[in-house]
A and B are shown apart, each in its own frame.
Chain A
């Protein structure tokens, strides 16, 4: 029997139809919704052309969830909602109910169990994040811990809709930036070239592939202590860490010299202006586990300034477009250093080719 099971062949079924996982009112009105409004932060109210209505109650989670937590969320769905949930791209859970009377008890239960209700509209929603020390093989920092400390600080902003427009956050534990573009992102920024363990390179790394991986051609094959290895031209090296995943003996992570940088103004939406990439506005912040206070200070400062100064519907990028970068740095008090002037490919497009100056 055990052997028969061991030979089970995978059923290559792909993604399932989502019909059977969907709340019946959603299924019934699929493709026929008319409009929505937000009766309060954390609640979306959708009205279908048929006249049917649903209320979606959104709550924050820790994303990396233990089975007890998931079962608790299921209990709530079965007792207070209608047995269906969905998750957003930012790891918020949504309960969908077709009866307005169920909304308040559901909110009370979620909040009572420690799941903040919010994350809708012009709030600061949950951080898109990665794995970090918990699971990644190349992390410069943790992810879940950074997120926990950020969201503790931004808890009230998650639960209220007091920002000029929505605020999306992300964190990434290396410069690959798995967290993605965001209004405000925290990303590891290495400041020293990799430390190479020459004893291991020949056995562990496919050397030509590692040479090819370097964006600035700073890596070349070399014989070190009679062994084939790799060497790095440290004047050329931009400390990006691209060589580290294909060649772990080229250790880029450093407890002291792997810093954190803050980026702002990423926007994937096409609303108003075209989508934008985020820009680096601060770096050199220490990787100060377990609560990263220096990072949180800068994050809080930028968000407070944006909240006070931006007009309704301005995302971070729209706001900075209006006030200009000099005033962004002035208002946030962040130092504008030479490292923030782009010198990568296409960089001159990021320079001011005009005499547009705000005084």
Chain B
């Protein structure tokens, strides 16, 4: 039995309504833990005054410089003593989950046991960077809890100016739209940068995210400095049986309104079965005995829309891999940035392929570490120095896939033009 509860009239109102209530969960923990009684009191004060009362500090585990988010209370009495003394320290331990966030129940139960023993008993599944957030621990218990978590085979995530914990979609494990093994790529990349995760020494944070197709369920394009987004080079695959099944259920109006007219590059047409083009870059799926949906794969940008609507009837091709985009980030400091395409396609089938991905990541991080200003994200650095300087720095050739349009102003010095053309011609010749 814990000490009596503080009155929590505001938080009590978050126990009504049908959605699961975190307050009810905290109150249940507070029955046995003085710690959580005071956490609730602390939070109630924020609700009353509309102010936050946690400050950072320095708490860590032996050998690592990050992974723990320290929090100390700022609600003090006249003598400088914590008002909610059992919740004076409320640190979070960030733990990297298995790629795809799969768990067996034994693992979750073991994490719960550790957290009941050493922490508050509050676990967020998951934080916005993808960590298991073990929320609420005293300074004294951080190392003890970490030792047991580490014994389970888990490692700490990133915090501060470091490579951060990554996320990958469910992907190959369950999704027919997966274009590479996201979990394997995730693991290969992240586990190559453990030093940069555990010992923050970069100009600012650096995030990787792995999505298996253009639907980008991990929000990689905008939430990561280096986004690995699945795509394919050959034709969309088709299945006539599933195509006819879809058409029988949905009909021509939906086919036109929801599929054909929503293709962003007008790559789709409805054709009489006999009129479907025979070119190698054409796919077609049967709708009924008479008509087909024809796809010109040269025009298709692999946006995923038609495949999303007609899943199974249409599917990504077989020559799969990923595009790499660099420089996504959120608002601060210069405004949100999307990632920019820097590698249109790379294979990710084998260990060697993934090794190349790690090498690319390494060269980007090395360049970032050398060239970014303090507290500058990769996208901001690229905006400051220009994409071409960045590409030269990491050893990638320019490519028209990287742009929306060529430059719209003449303000550039072009006296190296002939040399550049000669280089391109030489490369063409060498490749031929």
Flag whether B252 is at the interface (Cβ < 8 A). Answer: no
User: Contact at A54–B18, with CB atoms within 8 Å?
Assistant: no
Q: What 10 pairs between A and B have smallest CB-CB spacing?
A: A35-B312, A152-B17, A66-B25, A270-B214, A14-B191, A133-B46, A255-B50, A18-B98, A74-B105, A33-B176
User: Contact at B181–A14, with CB atoms within 8 Å?
Assistant: no
Flag whether A31 is at the interface (Cβ < 8 A). Answer: yes
On chain A, the residues within 8 Å of B258 by CB distance are: 312-313
Tell me which of A8, A70, A135, A258 contacts B92 (CB under 8 A). Answer: A135
The interface stretch among B61-69, B271-279, B290-298, B388-396 is: B61-69
User: Contact at B331–A268, with CB atoms within 8 Å?
Assistant: no
User: Contact at B103–A139, with CB atoms within 8 Å?
Assistant: no
Question: What are 20 inter-chain pairs, A to B, with CB distance below 8 A?
Answer: A10-B155, A13-B150, A14-B190, A21-B102, A21-B107, A34-B239, A63-B22, A66-B25, A87-B126, A114-B20, A133-B47, A137-B71, A149-B14, A155-B17, A213-B333, A248-B55, A266-B222, A268-B216, A269-B216, A277-B336
Flag whether A130 is at the interface (Cβ < 8 A). Answer: yes
With the chains together, A138 CA to B55 CA distance in Å?
Answer: 8
With the chains together, A275 CA to B217 CA distance in Å?
Answer: 12
Residue of B nearest to A5 (CB): B147
With the chains together, A116 CA to B313 CA distance in Å?
Answer: 31
Residue of A nearest to B16 (CB): A152
User: Contact at B56–A137, with CB atoms within 8 Å?
Assistant: yes
User: Contact at A35–B14, with CB atoms within 8 Å?
Assistant: no
Say whether, besides A62-B20, A67-B115, A74 and B108 are in contact (CB < 8 Å): yes
The interface stretch among B165-173, B351-359, B411-419, B421-429 is: B165-173
On chain B, the residues within 8 Å of A196 by CB distance are: none
4 additional contacts (CB under 8 A) given A10-B61, A275-B221: A18-B102, A266-B222, A272-B303, A289-B50
User: Contact at A142–B47, with CB atoms within 8 Å?
Assistant: yes
User: Contact at A240–B332, with CB atoms within 8 Å?
Assistant: yes
Flag whether A89 is at the interface (Cβ < 8 A). Answer: yes
Classify the secondary structure of A's interface with B.
Answer: loop
User: Contact at A67–B43, with CB atoms within 8 Å?
Assistant: no
Flag whether A60 is at the interface (Cβ < 8 A). Answer: yes
With the chains together, A139 CA to B54 CA distance in Å?
Answer: 9
On chain A, the residues within 8 Å of B229 by CB distance are: 270
Flag whether B282 is at the interface (Cβ < 8 A). Answer: no
Residue of A nearest to B10 (CB): A290
Tell me which of A71, A83, A87, A209 contacts B125 (CB under 8 A). Answer: A87
Flag whether A295 is at the interface (Cβ < 8 A). Answer: no
With the chains together, A193 CA to B128 CA distance in Å?
Answer: 28
User: Contact at B112–A30, with CB atoms within 8 Å?
Assistant: no
On chain B, the residues within 8 Å of A145 by CB distance are: 11, 14, 47
Say whether, besides A13-B154, A142-B46, A215-B334, A275 and B216 are in contact (CB < 8 Å): yes
User: Contact at B147–A12, with CB atoms within 8 Å?
Assistant: no
Flag whether A151 is at the interface (Cβ < 8 A). Answer: yes
Interfacial residues of chain B within 112-144, with CB under 8 A of chain A in the complex: 112, 115-116, 121-126, 128, 130, 135-136, 143
On chain B, the residues within 8 Å of A89 by CB distance are: 126, 130, 167, 169, 217-219
User: Contact at A15–B186, with CB atoms within 8 Å?
Assistant: yes
User: Contact at A85–B108, with CB atoms within 8 Å?
Assistant: yes
Residue of A nearest to B237 (CB): A34
Flag whether A78 is at the interface (Cβ < 8 A). Answer: yes
CB distance from A215 to the nearest CB of B (A): 5
On chain B, the residues within 8 Å of A30 by CB distance are: 172-173, 181
Tell me which of B124, B183, B216 contacts A63 (CB under 8 A). Answer: B124
- What 1/0 flags go to B52-96 for Cβ under 8 Å of A? 111110000111100001010000000000000000001010001
User: Contact at B98–A15, with CB atoms within 8 Å?
Assistant: yes
Tell me which of B21, B100, B219, B312 contacts A86 (CB under 8 A). Answer: B100
Flag whether A99 is at the interface (Cβ < 8 A). Answer: no
Interface residues on B, range: 35 or more
Flag whether B350 is at the interface (Cβ < 8 A). Answer: no
How many chain A residues touch the partner (CB < 8 A)? Answer: 119
Flag whether A141 is at the interface (Cβ < 8 A). Answer: yes
User: Contact at B330–A152, with CB atoms within 8 Å?
Assistant: no
User: Contact at A209–B304, with CB atoms within 8 Å?
Assistant: no
Flag whether A310 is at the interface (Cβ < 8 A). Answer: no
User: Contact at A20–B50, with CB atoms within 8 Å?
Assistant: no
User: Contact at A83–B105, with CB atoms within 8 Å?
Assistant: yes
Flag whether B405 is at the interface (Cβ < 8 A). Answer: no
User: Contact at A10–B64, with CB atoms within 8 Å?
Assistant: yes
User: Contact at A10–B150, with CB atoms within 8 Å?
Assistant: yes
Flag whether A304 is at the interface (Cβ < 8 A). Answer: no
- What 1/0 flags go to A99-132 for Cβ under 8 Å of B? 0000000000000001110000000000011111
Interfacial residues of chain A within 29-75, with CB under 8 A of chain B in the complex: 30-31, 33-37, 46-47, 54, 56, 60-71, 73-74
With the chains together, A289 CA to B49 CA distance in Å?
Answer: 9
User: Contact at B105–A78, with CB atoms within 8 Å?
Assistant: yes
With the chains together, A17 CA to B71 CA distance in Å?
Answer: 31
In this complex, the member of B22, B61, B98 whose beta carbon has the largest number of chain A beta carbons within 10 angstroms is: B22
User: Contact at B103–A21, with CB atoms within 8 Å?
Assistant: yes
Flag whether A226 is at the interface (Cβ < 8 A). Answer: no
On chain A, the residues within 8 Å of B135 by CB distance are: 64, 134-135
User: Contact at B124–A270, with CB atoms within 8 Å?
Assistant: no
Flag whether B385 is at the interface (Cβ < 8 A). Answer: no
Tell me which of B23, B28, B104, B194 contacts A84 (CB under 8 A). Answer: B104
Flag whether A11 is at the interface (Cβ < 8 A). Answer: yes
Tell me which of B39, B109, B167 contacts A71 (CB under 8 A). Answer: B109
Flag whether A231 is at the interface (Cβ < 8 A). Answer: no
With the chains together, A86 CA to B126 CA distance in Å?
Answer: 11
CB distance from B401 to the nearest CB of A (A): 13
On chain B, the residues within 8 Å of A175 by CB distance are: 331-332
On chain A, the residues within 8 Å of B61 by CB distance are: 10
On chain B, the residues within 8 Å of A258 by CB distance are: 50
Flag whether A169 is at the interface (Cβ < 8 A). Answer: no
Flag whether A341 is at the interface (Cβ < 8 A). Answer: no
User: Contact at A64–B22, with CB atoms within 8 Å?
Assistant: yes
CB distance from B304 to the nearest CB of A (A): 5
CB distance from A286 to the nearest CB of B (A): 10
With the chains together, A22 CA to B112 CA distance in Å?
Answer: 19
Flag whether B406 is at the interface (Cβ < 8 A). Answer: no
Say whether, besides A68-B28, A177-B336, A268 and B219 are in contact (CB < 8 Å): yes
User: Contact at A84–B103, with CB atoms within 8 Å?
Assistant: yes
CB distance from B12 to the nearest CB of A (A): 8
User: Contact at A87–B101, with CB atoms within 8 Å?
Assistant: yes
Say whether, besides A12-B155, A14-B190, A151 and B257 are in contact (CB < 8 Å): no
Residue of A nearest to B339 (CB): A275
User: Contact at B173–A16, with CB atoms within 8 Å?
Assistant: no
